[in-house]
Amino acid sequence: MTVSLVPALTAHGVVSRQDLPIPLVYLLVGSVAALLVSFLALVVLWREPRLDWMHAGRPLPPRVQRVLDSPALRAGLRALGLLVTAYIAVAALFGPDDDSNPTPGVVYVLFWVGVPLLSMLLGPVWRLLNPIRTIDTAVTRATGTDAEAAAWPLPHRVGHWPAALMLLAFAWMELAAPDNTSQLVLCLFFGTYLAVNLLAALAFGSRWFSRGDGFEVYSTLLGHLSCLGRRGDGQLVLRNPLAGVAGTPAVPGLSGVVCVLLGSTAYDSLGGSTWWVNVVQSGPLPATLTRTLGLVTMVALVGLLFLNACLLAGWRADLPSARLVEEFAHTLIPIVAGYVVAHYWSLLVLNGQKTISQLSDPFATGANLLGTAHLVVNPTLADPNVVSVLQVTAIVVGHVVAVVLAHDRALRLLPRRQAMAGQIPLLVLMVAFTVGGLTLLFAA
C-alpha cells in the first residue's frame, strides 16, 4: 500500500515474521502474560494514585534552564523551522516530479516519523519549530494586533477534534489517496493545511495551534513521554515519563486524536498484507475507495473498542461518559509511541538516510548543497534482528505503560471500591491491542 512511495520498502519495513527470534504464538503468550503480571503487581503494590506532573521531577540546573528558555534559542528554532520549510517548499514546487525529488521522503519519513520520535526524546519540538506559528506571529505583528488575542473565543468543546480530523486527512493522503507522492497532491495538502490553520489562528488566537493544529498536537502528545518536561511551577525538570503522560490535559477530542493515530498505523500494517492488496486490486470498488473504507473502518474499530472499554470501566461511576473517555485517552499515548517505533523504525533509518542525501540535490542537477549528496545508506541500524527485538520491546513496553497509566487514573477517578474492577475492561482492551498489533506487524 506504500504505493510508489519513496519507501523502497513496504511501510513495515525490513522485518517480517521470519526475522522474529521466536514463533509468533510464543511472543503473543509472553506479551499477554507480561500485561497480566504487570496488572497484578500494580493491584498489590500501587494502591494510591501517584502520578502527578504538577510536582514530579528534578529541576535542571538554573543555567541550563536559562539557556533552554532563552529568547535567542527560541527565535533560532523558529527561524530554523521556517528556513527548512521554505527549502522543502521550493523543492516541492519547482523540483522534478519524480523519484529524485526529496519532498515525499521529507514528508512521509523525516517529518511524519522523525518529528514524533524526536518529540518522544526531547518534548514537544514541533511547537518550537512550527512554521505556521511563526507566520502567524509575523502577520499579527505586521498588522499590529496581538497574536494571543482572539476575534472569537474557541469553544472548549471543540478541543482537539480539528486536530484529529487533520491527522485523519494526512493518513488518508498517505495510505489511501492515489498519487500520494506526487508534488501536486503534497502541495495541495500542505497548502490547504497552511491556509486552514493560519486562518483559524487569526480567528481564535495563537492558542489554536496547541488545540487544533494536528501535527503540533501529535508532537506535543508524544512529547509528554520525554524525560524532559515542564513542571506545574514552570521549571524545566527531568521527570518520570509516566508523570508527564499522566499530565496530558483531558481535552475533548484527545480520544479522537489517539484513535486516529492508532487506527491508521494498524491500517498501514494491514495494507502491507497480500490479502489486503488483493482485496484492493480485485475488489468490486475502485482502489482508492476500498482503501478509504479500510482506513476508516480501522480507525472506527479502534475508537469503538476504546469507547466501549471506557464506558464499561466507569459504568457505575457518576461521570459523564464523554469525560470518562477523555480521562482515559492519554493511556493510549505510549501505545501510539510504541507503534511508531515498531512500525516505522526501519523506514526512518533507510529512507531517512536516502532522503537526507536527496536533499542536497533538490533539482536533480548534480548539486551537493548540503554536502550529503554522496551519503551511502548505512543499513546497520535497520538490521532485521535488531529491528525485530526493537519492535517487540516497543510494543510490549508501550502496552505495559498503558496499563500502569490506566491503573493510576482509575485510582484517581473512580470510587475506591470500583477502581480495581473498573480497570478490567481497559486491561482486556490492552491485551486485545497487543495481540492485534503484534499479529498485524509480524503476520500480515
Partner 1 sequence: MTTASRPVAGPLPPVLLSPGARSSGWDAPRTARAAVGALALALGLVLGLAACGGTGSTGTAASPGSPAPTGSSMTAGSGGASGAPPSTGQPPATATFTGVGVAVQVAGGKVVPPTHRVDVPIGQRVRLQVVSDVADEVHVHGYDLKQDVAPGAPATVEFVADQPGLFEVELEAAKLQLVQLEVH
> By CB under 8 A, what part of segment 263-302 binds partner 1?
272-275, 277-278, 281-282, 287, 296, 299-300, 302
Q: For residue 178, state whether it binds partner 1 (rule: CB under 8 A).
A: yes
Q: For residue 56, state whether it binds partner 1 (rule: CB under 8 A).
A: yes
Q: For residue 334, state whether it binds partner 1 (rule: CB under 8 A).
A: no
Q: For residue 386, state whether it binds partner 1 (rule: CB under 8 A).
A: no
Q: For residue 230, state whether it binds partner 1 (rule: CB under 8 A).
A: no
**Residue 230: DSSP 8-state:** E
> Rounded distance, CA 362 to CA 371, Å?
12
Residue 42 or 222 having the CB closest to partner 1: 42
> Rounded distance, CA 102 to CA 362, Å?
6
Which residues, 6+ apart, have CB-to-CB distance to 337 below 8 Å? Answer: 116, 120, 222, 225, 394, 398
Please select the residue that binds partner 1; options are 135, 250, 370, 428, rule is CB under 8 A. 250
Residue 240 C-beta: closest distance to partner 1, Å: 5
> Rounded distance, CA 274 to CA 229, Å?
43
Residue 164 or 348 having the CB closest to partner 1: 164
Residue 376 C-beta: closest distance to partner 1, Å: 13
Please select the residue that binds partner 1; options are 176, 186, 217, 401, rule is CB under 8 A. 401
Q: Is 28 exposed, middle or buried (0-12, 13-18, 19+ CB in 10 A)?
A: middle
CB atoms within 10 A of CB 185: 15
Question: Could you say which residues in the range 336-355 bind partner 1, by CB under 8 A?
Answer: 346
Question: Could you say which residues in the range 299-318 bind partner 1, by CB under 8 A?
Answer: 299-300, 302-304, 306-307
Q: What x/- string results for residues 18 through 37 when contact with partner 1 is judged by CB under 8 A?
A: xxxxxxxxxx-xxx-xxx-x
Residue 201 or 349 having the CB closest to partner 1: 349
Compute CA distances 233 → 53, 55, 57, whole Å: 10, 8, 11
Q: For residue 96, state whether it binds partner 1 (rule: CB under 8 A).
A: no
Question: Which CB contacts under 8 angstroms, 24+ apart, belong to 227-233?
Answer: 228/122, 228/123, 229/53, 229/57, 229/123, 231/53, 231/54, 231/55, 231/56, 231/57, 231/59, 232/53, 232/54, 232/55, 233/54
Please select the residue that binds partner 1; options are 224, 239, 291, 343, rule is CB under 8 A. 239
Are the CB atoms for 119 and 226 separated by under 8 Å? Answer: yes
Cell of 356: 537526507
Residue 43 C-beta: closest distance to partner 1, Å: 11
Q: For residue 432, state whether it binds partner 1 (rule: CB under 8 A).
A: no
Residue 197 C-beta: closest distance to partner 1, Å: 18
Continuous segment of H or E residues that includes residue 229:
strand 228-230
Q: For residue 46, state whether it binds partner 1 (rule: CB under 8 A).
A: yes
Residue 421 C-beta: closest distance to partner 1, Å: 20
Which residues on neighbouring strands pair with residue 236, listed in sequence order? 230
State the distance between the two ends of the chain, measured CA to CA, in whole angstroms: 12
Please select the residue that binds partner 1; options are 81, 124, 205, 252, rule is CB under 8 A. 252
Compute CA distances 437 → 216, 219, 268, 286, 327, whole Å: 25, 22, 11, 27, 23
Residue 156 or 417 having the CB closest to partner 1: 156
Question: Could you say which residues in the range 131-170 bind partner 1, by CB under 8 A?
Answer: 155-157, 159, 161, 164-165, 168
Residue 157 C-beta: closest distance to partner 1, Å: 5
Please select the residue that binds partner 1; options are 134, 137, 240, 418, rule is CB under 8 A. 240
Please select the residue that binds partner 1; options are 106, 132, 200, 404, rule is CB under 8 A. 404
Question: Could you say which residues in the range 107-136 bind partner 1, by CB under 8 A?
Answer: none
> Rounded distance, CA 219 to CA 299, Å?
20
Please select the residue that binds partner 1; options are 249, 283, 286, 415, rule is CB under 8 A. 249
Please select the residue that binds partner 1; options are 67, 73, 79, 238, rule is CB under 8 A. 238
Q: For residue 207, state whether it binds partner 1 (rule: CB under 8 A).
A: no
**Residue 152: DSSP 8-state:** S
Please select the residue that binds partner 1; options are 379, 415, 421, 432, rule is CB under 8 A. 379
Residue 257 C-beta: closest distance to partner 1, Å: 9
Residue 291 C-beta: closest distance to partner 1, Å: 11
Nearest to 29 by CA among 439, 443, 390: 439
Nearest to 335 by CA among 422, 418, 237, 406: 406
Please select the residue that binds partner 1; options are 177, 400, 419, 426, rule is CB under 8 A. 400
